[in-house]
Amino acid sequence: MPWRQDPPARATGFDAERERLPRAIAARLVRAGRIAELPAGLPARDAANSPRIAAAPAALDRWSREVFELIEWRRFEAVVESLFAQAGFETRSQAHGADGGVDIWLYSAHHASGDAPVSIVQCKQWMRQKVGVREVRELRGVMAQHGIARGQFVTTSDFSADAREFADANGIGLHDVDGLLRLIASRDPGQQDALLRVAFDGDWWRPTCASCGIKLVERTAREGGREFWGCENYPRGCRTKMPMRLEHRAEGAKAPRR
């Protein structure tokens, strides 16, 4: 589908006073009370895309389900990796490209070069869809391939009953969104703040291209004017694209990797 590219936004990070946000995400944040109301009489597109609208970092100073809904998939994986690092593991992740079913490799804290990982982690930033037994079986297959006895599956959603049953019988720890929030709450305040900074680092709302490892950019279809995310490497070998509607971005973000 033909598209035209809008000028890329400048990332300023979680502590910045102002963020340039696409219209769909700005509207979602206004409804959530995370940013100031759009100026009266100013069209939504102008308010969200042209000026830099005032954010409210104080409203993002605590963990909730909404944090997982707001951040993009790569930020979610970074939070999970940091969470395991806080637990004493050494971690290694793959930012983009085919991951072979592994998002994070976990090693003992003092492992020597060449030591095998003690566990592997698969992440799914799904909001409405439950993780089923098929996805958990796939993780078990990767564990067997690498001779790893323990695996971890982390999601912002929930797991089906058969997925939980299979995981219990096969050495796989399941972490749904409620479990994640309990785990984060068990950390001391400094660690919780550190995880929040990881979540809102950089342009946390802009999805990462799973194929290229770079941020997607705002594009507008030539026909119909629909806004969506697209890879700036188009057409030089990457055709990654996804809807800009915030509620759809998590489910579709990593499709190229699977």
Q: Which CATH number characterizes residue 109's domain?
A: 3.40.1350.10
Distance separating alpha carbons of residues 217 and 11, to the nearest angstrom: 12
Distance separating alpha carbons of residues 79 and 199, to the nearest angstrom: 6
Residue 76 lies in a domain: yes
Distance separating alpha carbons of residues 177 and 138, to the nearest angstrom: 20
Cβ contact 227:15 at 8 Å: no
CA-to-CA separations, 20 to 31, 50, 120, in angstroms, rounded: 17, 8, 36
Residue 20 lies in a domain: no
Position 234 scores a pLDDT of 80
Picking from 214, 207, 215, 181, the residue whose alpha carbon sits closest to that of residue 196 is 181
Position 126 scores a pLDDT of 92
Domain region containing 105: 72-189
Which residues of the chain fall below pLDDT 50? 1-19, 40-59, 246-253, 255-258
Running DSSP on this structure, what letter comes out for residue 57?
G
Residue 99 lies in a domain: yes
Distance separating alpha carbons of residues 10 and 29, to the nearest angstrom: 18
Residue 1 lies in a domain: no
Residue 142 lies in a domain: yes
Our count of domains for the chain comes to 1
Cβ contact 136:101 at 8 Å: no
Position 204 scores a pLDDT of 85
Residue 146 lies in a domain: yes
Distance separating alpha carbons of residues 42 and 129, to the nearest angstrom: 36
Task: Spell out where 23-181 has E strands.
Answer: 53-54, 90-93, 104-107, 119-124, 150-155, 172-175
Residue 51 lies in a domain: no
Residue 168 lies in a domain: yes
Q: What is the pTM of this model?
A: 0.75
Cβ contact 47:53 at 8 Å: yes
DSSP string, 176-204: -HHHHHHHHHTS-HHHHHHHHHHHTSSST
Position 95 scores a pLDDT of 61
